[in-house]
Each structure stands twice: as C-alpha cells, then as structure tokens.
Structure 1
Amino acid sequence: MSGRTVPSRRTVLRSAVLTPVAGLGPAACSPGDDGAAPARPTAPVELGADGEVADGATKLYRDANVVVSRAGDGSLKAFSTVCTHAGCPIGKLEGTKLVCPCHGSEFDARTGEVLHAPATTPLVELPVEVKQGRIVASPGT
C-alpha cells in the first residue's frame, strides 16, 4: 500500500448529503478571481411562501444560496449569495447586509452591490417571481 488514506463509505455519503441541492451552490471555492463567473442556478428553485418576505424586508435562503428582498411596492429582487471574490457561500445576513465568512466581503442584499472589499464585483441577480403563492428563483442569463 502507498500510505494513501481512502475515505470511508460514511464520509463519502456524508459529503454527498451536505452538498447543496437545486444547483444553487458554489462550484468550488476558487482563489480570489473577480473575473470568474460565480455559480448560478441550473434550474428554477422554489424558495418559500410568498408571505415569508414582507414589504421592505429581506430573507436569506441559506440552503439555496439565494437572498430575496421585497421593495415597498411589493416587487421582488433575488441575488445569488455566492461571493464574487472567492466563490464562498454567504450564510450571514445582518439587516440588509450580507457578510462573507471567507474574506469579509460585504454586499447590500437589496441591490447586490459591494459594500466592503475584497470583492469588487456585485452579486449575480437572479430572476425571481411568485408562482402559485411560492417564491421561485430561476437561472440567470
């Protein structure tokens, strides 16, 4: 034997279970390359009930790597929460500010704009709509 360790079946299965479903997760956390396109949804994903995001509110859907905000007029906006700096999933929402755990980039959850470097590219906006009372985010173009 060459001394390589082989992962157990349990380790492989646990990794598969923890991988984000619905095609919205980050591909891999690549080193900081603002020129690279961050992961985008590969298929529409149902996020939750329309009433989960009130007028003027913002909601983070961690499992789908999407943040949704609703303007005072009721219109919705959605953004991928995969950091544009290094591809890390952002799982922290402070009011309307998303904070990346990898390098501290901050984004406005309502506009996707960068609030704090090292990221320089805004979050990817996703088409979002309400279908049969459910919020659905779709792949970006």
Structure 2
Amino acid sequence: MTQGPTRRTILLATGAAALTAGCSEYGDESGSSKDSAGSPGQELATTADIPVGGGKIFKDEQVVVTQPKEGDFKAFTSICTHQQCPVANVKDGTINCTCHGSKFNITDGSVANPPAARPLAEKKITVTGNSIRLA
C-alpha cells in the first residue's frame, strides 16, 4: 500500500507556493519596470485640466500640479512628508492628506496644517502652449 504525502511535505509545498505567488507581484517577466515617479518630458495634462485655485493629482507619476492663480502652474510630490501617504485631494487652496490631516499650500507646498513638519518637494515642470510636462 502506498502512503500519501506527509503533513510536513504539504506544509512546505503550501509555503513555497505562497512565497512564489507573493514574489511574482514585484515585476513582470519582461524585466521592464514602470517609473512610478514619471519620466522627464512626459505630458501630465493640459492647462485646461488644472483649475485656477486648485490642482490635480497624478497618482501614477506621484505628482500634484496646482494653479494658484491663472497661468501660474506649480508641481509637487504627491507623497505626504508626514508618513508617506499619497495625498488625497486639492481643495480650498490646499493639497490634503487624509491619512492624518496634513495640508499643504498650493502656492509653494509649505505646511498649512500639521502633523507634517516639512513641505512637499517641488517638482520641475514645463508649460509649452497648453501642455504641462515633467521637466
């Protein structure tokens, strides 16, 4: 009579399968990886996409573009300096992180409401015609 797999063999195989499945999330088979911080020259938006007195978050590029006053465009990292949560929205002149309530000014990225103690890092953009691109 043939004996089936032992409990130890089953547990080891299950653990190896779980580890393999978890590691497969870190990259694709082609070896290429997406630059999550955006690429220089990449078009983010048109000027019409960014409301005056507000802004727009580009999640994949980790950038928030604001327009504090008409024709004045600014860009900052969209990662909060408090505990690295992504910012959630731009409203009433501030870039808002809903993780712990930090707010940043749309004009310069400075802290408008703690607990964040450091401003959002400025990102370089170019505006040519109606196109906003990462510099």
Q: Is the 8 A contact 2:54 2:106 kept in 1?
A: no
Q: Which amino acid aligns with 1:110?
A: T
RMSD of the TM alignment (CA)?
3.1
Structure 1 runs not aligned, ≥5 long: 25-40
* 2:62 pairs with one of 58, 62, 65: 65
Q: Which has the larger radius of gyration?
A: 2
Deviations 1:79-124 (A, max 9, x none): 1111112222112222322222332222122320112222100000
**Which residue number in structure 2 is paired with residue 8 of structure 1?**
21
1:90 aligns with: 87
Q: Does 1:105 align with 2:102?
A: yes
Match for residue 117 of structure 1?
114
Task: After TM superposition, give the deviation of residue 125 of structure 1 in Å.
Answer: 0.8
Aligned amino acid, residue 63 of structure 2: V
Unaligned runs of 5+ in 2: 1-11
- The amino acid that maps onto 1:60 is I
Give the TM-score normalised by the residue count of structure 1: 0.64
Encode CA deviations 1:17-45: one digit per residue, 9 max, x unaligned.
9xx94432xxxxxxxxxxxxxxxx56343
* CA distance in 2 between partners of 1:56 and 1:99 (Å): 14
Q: 2: CA distance between counterparts of 1:51 and 1:85?
A: 31
Q: Which has the higher helix share?
A: 2
Q: Percent identity?
A: 27
